[in-house]
Homo-oligomer: A and B are copies of this chain.
Amino acid sequence: MAKKAPPRSPLAPSPPPEVAAVPGVRLATLAAGLRYQGRPDLLLVELAPGTAVAGMLTRSLTCGHPVRWCRERLPAGRARALIVNAGNANVFRGADGDAAVRREAEAVAGALGCAVDEVLVASTGVIGARFDPEPIAARLSELAARLGRDGFLDAAEAIRTTDTFAKVATADAAIDGVPVRIAGIAKGSGMVAPDTATVFGFVFTDAAVPAAALRSIWTEAVERTFNAITVDGDTSTSDTFLLFATAQAAHGPIARAGDTRLADFADAVEAVARDLAIQVVRDGEGAQKLVTIHVEGGVDDASARRVALSIANSPLVKTAIAGGDANWGRVVMAVGKAGEPVEVERLAIAFGDIWVARDGAAVVDLDEGPVGAHLRGRDVRIGVVIGRGPGRATVWTCDLTHGYIDINADYRS
């Protein structure tokens, strides 16, 4: 059954930002026809010798075979290539699934002349369908011949499943006064229909940062960005977030993770990750509004984040926002179900900049007009104070609309 592609999200950034080349990174895409017809669905990235890598992977206990492959190779901290396909996630296929990843990595290593353990692999698409690596292996020399320094937007196009727009972001930073470039791509639009389920975020820089330092920067950035977004609370089998540093920039050597010369770089990496993560939410299935939820007063940041995610994942909160309804009672409910320490007598809730509840009770004689106007906009902000400590967190989600049901209640094929 042919499926009509959902229209481009009304929250898409337009136009997409220009992304300049990153020294040491070469990209190529191809229409391999793995599932989608008439569009690129395969991405190869070649990384200069000496590239360091840090990764964060899904916590799912039924994770995909490419995730298992990456999990075993990331501790070495080195990468020469990344191959990504859209259409088949290679999940839940037993020993065959693992063998298929190895075959794919070997083909890449053969085409680029690098070690097989320096090839990272990511796949997104249908769960449980047989993954045949041969159509990919057969096209690798063609793909390698196409490698070029430009094409981040094309790369982002190739890794889409039902994303309605390609996601790219970029930033500049300085290490030791020497400029470095950062560029990233992402995919994800909820836990994507018809039955794919993945968020990818791949970020590239020419900085020369050892893997241990990269890991520390990336872990913190991902926790505050890709791990702080939710569309439907469903966790992918294949989420993969990788940060590659090609060491082409001419700044002085970095020895350790805590080096203060990395502060500006770390901020820029987080900014790129945040930009990409918010774009994923902007492409949330059926999304009509971007919702930013900020919680203050948790016993610590992690507790504040769990409260924020409880609000962000509540279908009742998300449908209220879809309806433009200042229904702060549902926010009270979602705070209460999080199971985190809360001082109810100090609980306060704001929509936009307007407090609707304070000190554990409704604000008296509230003018609901400006609140309603804020909630009818595309960009909704919910602020919550839980009064227990210094912890704070921001998470991003979207509203829950008929569009989500349309996309996800359709038949598969």
| B-side contacts of A178, CB under 8 Å | none
| Contact call B405/A322, Cβ cutoff below 8 A | yes
The 9 closest A-B pairs by CB, nearest first: A127-B329, A62-B336, A235-B337, A319-B408, A60-B336, A323-B409, A322-B409, A232-B315, A319-B409
Total residues of chain A contacting the partner, CB 8 A: 68
Interface membership of A362, Cβ < 8 A: yes
Residue of B nearest to A362 (CB): B128
Asked if A232 contacts B316 (CB within 8 A), the reply is yes
Interface check A93, CB cutoff 8 A: yes
Please tell me if the beta carbons of B329 and A126 are within 8 angstroms of each other in the complex. yes
**Counting CB contacts under 8 A, is A345 at the interface?**
yes
Chain B: minimal CB distance from A43 (Å): 23
Does A283 reach chain B (CB closer than 8 Å)?
no
**Which B residues are in CB contact (< 8 Å) with A324?**
411
Q: Mark A344-369, 1 if CB is under 8 A from B, else 0.
A: 11010000000001011110000000
CB distance from A196 to the nearest CB of B (A): 9
Chain B residues near A322 (CB-CB < 8 A): 405, 409
- Summarize A's interface: helix, strand, loop or mixed: loop
Q: Is there contact, CB below 8 Å, between B197 and A330?
A: yes
**Cα distance A336–B128 in the bound complex, in angstroms:** 13
The chain B residue with its CB closest to the CB of A322 is B409
Query: Is A404 in contact with chain B by the CB < 8 A criterion?
Result: yes
CB distance from A403 to the nearest CB of B (A): 9
What's the Cα separation between A347 and B60 when bound, in Å?
Answer: 14
**For the complex, is A194 an interface residue (Cβ under 8 Å from B)?**
yes
Nearest residue, chain B, Cβ from A321: B409
- Cα distance A402–B406 when bound, in Å? 8
- Interface status of A335 (Cβ within 8 A of chain B): yes
Decide if A220 is an interface residue (CB 8 Å cutoff). no
| A63 contacts B by Cβ under 8 Å | yes
Task: Say yes or no: B327 contacts A235, CB within 8 Å.
Answer: no
The smallest C-beta distance from A402 to any residue of chain B, in angstroms, reads 5
Residues of the B chain whose Cβ atoms lie less than 8 Å from the Cβ of A126: 329
**A375-408, CB under 8 A of B: which get 1 and which 0?**
0000000000000000000000000111011001
Question: What's the least CB distance linking A46 to chain B, in Å?
Answer: 32
A328 → B minimal CB distance (Å): 7
CB distance A59 to B92 under 8 Å? no
In the assembled complex, 6 residue pairs joining A and B whose CB atoms fall closer than 8 Å, in A order, are A62-B332, A62-B335, A93-B361, A191-B333, A234-B334, A400-B409
Contact with B along A223-234 (1 / 0, CB 8 A): 000000000111
A51 contacts chain B at the CB level, 8 A cutoff: no
Complex interface: chain B residues within 8 A of A194 (CB): 325, 327
Q: What B residues does A345 contact at CB under 8 A? A: 94
Give Cα distance in the complex from A59 to B342, angstroms.
13
Residue A236 at the B interface, CB < 8 A? yes
Known: A63-B336, A92-B329. 6 other contacts (CB 8 A): A94-B359, A194-B327, A233-B313, A234-B334, A315-B408, A322-B409
**Chain A 7-24 interface 0/1 with B at a Cβ cutoff of 8 Å (1 = within):** 000000000000000000
- Docked CA distance A323–B193 (Å): 12
User: Contact: B401 with A409, CB < 8 Å?
Assistant: yes
Does the CB pair A329–B408 fall under 8 Å?
Answer: no
